[in-house]
Amino acid sequence: MKELGERVHLTGPAAAARVEKLEDTGVIEGFSIKVNHTKLGCFTYAFLNIYIQSTHHQPYLSFIQEKKDHILNNYKISGDACYLVECRFPSNEVLNQFLIELNKYANYKLSIVIDKTL
């Protein structure tokens, strides 16, 4: 809190009190860390547009929950697709196996990330 206080021209205790107040009021919902997935061995980074023909999405959602080691985010979206999935895999082979299993629940459009620019 001392470093934060210095950045916003407050004392450490004053910064801590403001952060605590923001937590108590729900403005700050939590804290997170930024993980370098490549250093953890996850070299394939991809996005999937998920298309489900029926209105019954629970089998797909259960499958995604089982695969949460690879899923960073599963967003329900508007438009042509039903979901946008952000995922990481240690290899293209593991991604391919995931896609084979996914086909039991939904169709998809795959986009592999080549580079992150921001």
Q: Which is more confidently placed, 56 or 37?
A: 56
Nearest partner of 87 among 117, 112, 61, judged by Cα = 112
What secondary structure letter does DSSP report for 77?
-
Q: What would the pLDDT profile of 59-106 be if each residue is shown by its tens digit?
A: 999 999 999 999 999 999 999 999 999 999 999 999 999 999 999 999
- Band (pLDDT 50/70/90 cuts) for residue 38 is confident
pTM listed for this prediction: 0.74
Q: Do 109 and 49 contact (CB within 8 A), yes or no?
A: yes
- Please name each of the domains of the chain with its CATH number: 1-31 (no CATH), 44-112 (3.30.70.920)
Quick: pLDDT tens for 66-79.
999 999 999 999 99
Helix (H, G, I), strand (E, B) or coil at 7: helix
